[in-house]
Amino acid sequence: MTLPGASAPLKQATLEALGYGMNQTELSPEVRLAAVKALYNALDFAESNFANEMERNYIMKVICDTAVSNAVKGDEEPVALQAVEFWSAICDEEIALQDEYEGSDDGNSTIHFRFIEKALPSLVPMLLETLLKQEEDQDQDDNVWNISMSGGTCLGLIARTVGPSVEKLAPLVQAGLDFLLNTMNDSNSQVKDTTAWTLGRVFELLHSPAGANPIINNSNLPRYEDAESMSSVLTPYLPNVIAALLNAADRADTTHFRLRASAYEALNEIVIIQKLSSTDAKSIIAQTADQLMTLFLRVFACHSSTVHEEAMLAIGALAYATGVVGDICRALEDKILPFCDRIMTVLLKDLSNSMLNRSVKPPIFSCLGDIALAIGENFEKYLPYAMPMLQGAAGLLGTLDQSDDDMVDYGNQLRRGIFEAYSGILQGIKGPKAQLMIPYATHLLQFTEAVFKDRSRDDSVTKSAVAVLGDLADTLGTSSKGLFQTHLFHVEFLRECLDSDDEVRETASWAQGMINQAVVS
């Protein structure tokens, strides 16, 4: 094969000889194994063949055709895992080919052999069998990787590769929805876990209330007389859903922090004010506000009462809890006031804790702004404690390593959190007690100027910085005239933002109007 001038038919015949018996027509597994070994032993001499596209493609075609075997069904899990991993790798390659040649004629050429599509009749039943091989305690071990998990991942990749359409899937899901909902009552926790994951994927990928094939509609949910006045078809179920999530987060029979984090994440999605009408949000959330606050305060403390590894797992729950507190503040407004002393105590304690993972601090700052916006001038008592924290965090930004991309990203998160805190405090304190913010205004403008000069800031930071300038002018009014005349950087900053994208430009235009009004008055 390596002789100069060797013809293509000769090379192909040689390859066929080396791998003879590997194809599907050979029924004897011993013959097929011997053929595979023959080809494997020849690979050391095949470098030049793999350098040739035609020969390389032929070799791989023979191997792929042969790989549909009983390896996955055997009792040797390491072998089965490798076999499934092989097909996952093929899926990755075919997905990449489809992305690369999407919309072009090359996508249907010999470049793309569509091995997965051809292997579907044998491959899918085999992989479905792997889903039955779950270990009893696998849901309690985040590090486990067994044949059922590998098979499930491969099935997902196959679905992406062959691309079943929403139009084809939706009727099948609608037909099986009752079965899935009933399976959520199964006595086996793994069955319920798998079903819940499946339902989550259904809503993530298929459900669209305004689409042609909504999964949830009035035909499979009970009808309500006031359906048209509801903000969502799920609104009647919210009290029970929230109660169930609170119970899940407070379960004493589990040490798995992922359950608590997932419960808070779900709450975070449910209580967002934009997803419910104002009346719905206040009435439903108010019913469980006491229980919510008690749980969140307990989560805030969990990082100091566990070992290091478990504390790292709890960080997600802590961040979710912080976000939910902010959402509830926006929903309940001043009704959150009775809880604020305890909430502010734990938030400020966490901000001063050097052992707390840094990723939790930006959402805590944002939460301070939500609290201030909710309780208005009542935030006065917290100013002497919150403002030094904001100023200290602003000073910390100058020490971050700008050559480290992760640190640059964290710096932007922290800046955004600080600005969101200032915006909430300024808007909340606006009115008779607005003058309380004057001692902090100079530092705020100096910090904003430093951010303006920092080219590593992203658009979200730019928008939040410009919003703070407008909030400062709006809150202090004519009292901010001298400040803006002294710190003239805002002129160039706003000019730059007015030439930016729509969202930043709109915020800058509003801020410009507030500043002009304060300076000209």
Condensed to tens digits (0 to 9), the pLDDT of residues 370-395 reads: 889 888 889 999 999 899 988 888 88
Residue range 468-496, pLDDT digits in tens: 999 999 999 888 888 888 888 888 888 88
Q: Which domain holds residue 93?
A: 8-99+114-129+147-163
pLDDT above 50 for 227: no
* Half-sphere exposure of residue 345: CA atoms within 13 angstroms, side-chain side: 9
* 3-state SS, one letter per residue, for 26-83: CCCHHHHHHHHHHHHHHHHHCHHHHCCHHHHHHHHHHHHHHCCCCCCCCCCHHHHHHH
| C-alpha to C-alpha distance for 454 and 173, rounded to whole angstroms | 51
Q: Is 52 left (phi over 0), alpha (psi -120 to 50) or beta?
A: beta
pLDDT at 425: 93
Nearest one of 72, 46, 191, 55 to 124, comparing CA atoms = 72
Which pTM does this prediction carry?
0.50
The pLDDT mean for the chain works out to 76
Q: Please measure the distance between the N-terminal and C-terminal CA atoms of the chain and give it in whole angstroms.
A: 90
Question: How far is it between the farthest Cα atoms of the chain?
Answer: 94
| Residue 76 falls inside a structural domain | yes
What distances in angstroms separate CA 202 from CA 36, 171, 261, one per listed residue?
41, 12, 21
pLDDT tens for each residue of 424-452: 999 998 888 889 999 999 999 999 999 88
44's tokens: 């050391």
Structural domain tally of the chain? Answer: 1
For residues 45 and 316, what is the distance between their CA atoms, to the nearest angstrom?
Answer: 52
Average pLDDT over residues 261-270: 69
Burial status of residue 521 (CB atoms within 10 A of its CB: 0-12, 13-18, 19 or more): exposed
- pLDDT digits 0-9 by tens, 125-144: 888 888 887 766 555 555 66
How many CB atoms neighbour CB 217 within 10 A?
12
Amino acid (one-letter) located at 192: K
Give 274's pLDDT tier (boundaries 50, 70, 90). Answer: very low
Token pair 């793994």 is found at 190
Cα–Cα distance for residue pair 393/404, rounded to 1 Å: 19
Domain annotation covers residue 225: no
User: Among 108, 116, 125, which residue's Cα sits nearest to residue 158?
Assistant: 116
Which value, in Å, is the radius of gyration of the alpha carbons in the chain? 30
pLDDT reported for residue 211: 59
Token pair of 88 as six digits: 């996952």
Residue 519 has a pLDDT of 84
CA–CA distance, 193 with 124 (Å, rounded to integer): 22
Other CB atoms within 10 A of residue 345 CB: 14
8 A C-beta contact, residue 433 and residue 380: yes
Question: Does the residue 321 lie in any domain?
Answer: no
Taking the CA atoms of 165, 168, 171 and 172 in sequence, report the sign of the dihedral they define.
Answer: negative
Mean pLDDT, residues 223-239: 58
495 close to 451: Cβ distance less than 8 angstroms: no
Mean pLDDT of 47-67: 76
CA pair distance 159, 165, nearest whole angstrom: 10
Least confident of 209-218, 413-422, 424-433: 209-218
Helix, strand, coil: what percent of the chain each, to 5? 75, 0, 25
Give 306's pLDDT tier (boundaries 50, 70, 90).
very low
94 part of a folded domain: yes
What is the reported pLDDT for 487?
A: 87
Orientation of helix 459-476 relative to helix 489-498, angle to 10°:
130
CB atoms under 10 Å from CB of 212, counted, come to 8
Q: Where are the alpha helices (DSSP H) in 72-188?
A: 77-100, 115-130, 147-162, 166-183
Helices (H) and strands (E) in the chain, counts: 23, 0
Please tell me the distance from the alpha carbon of residue 150 to that of residue 129, in angstroms, as a whole number: 12
Contact yes or no for 183/191 (Cβ under 8 A): yes
Q: Is 123 part of any domain? A: yes
The per-residue pLDDT for 316 is 53
Highest mean pLDDT among 20-24, 243-247, 304-308, 356-360: 243-247
Neighbours of 453 (CB within 10 A): 11
pLDDT tops 70 at residue 283: no
Q: Per mean pLDDT, which range of 19-23, 187-191, 271-275 is the poorest?
A: 271-275
195 and 186 Cβ atoms separated by less than 8 Å: yes
Residue 511 and residue 466: Cα distance in Å, rounded? 7
Instruction: Decide: residue 65, CB within 10 A, 0-12 exposed, 13-18 middle, 19+ buried.
Output: middle
